[in-house]
Amino acid sequence: MKRSNPMRQRLAALCLFGVLLLTYPLLGLPGGDWNGLPAVYLYLFGVWAGLILLAAMVAERRA
């Protein structure tokens, strides 16, 4: 029996980090335009993609 599983804990930490980034008040920060695109659109998809990338790196790493 494994008493602790670092992969699960890393992913859970990633989740908490994501919750902070994807809710208010931090979500209220991006405003206006970035290169002609709405900043909040880029911010939401950027953070989302970043979370997916990190999750992939954590989950697919050979134990």
Tell the smallest beta-carbon distance from residue 33 to other proteins (Å). Answer: 8
Beta bridge partners of 1: none
Helical packing angle, 39-60 and 6-21, nearest 10°: 180
For 53, the enclosing helix (H) or strand (E) is: helix 39-60
Q: Where on the chain is the footprint of other proteins (CB under 8 A)?
A: 1-2, 5, 7-9, 11-12, 14-15, 18-19, 22-25, 27-28, 31, 33, 35-38, 40-41, 44-45, 48-49, 51-53, 55-56, 59-60
Tell the smallest beta-carbon distance from residue 25 to other proteins (Å). Answer: 8
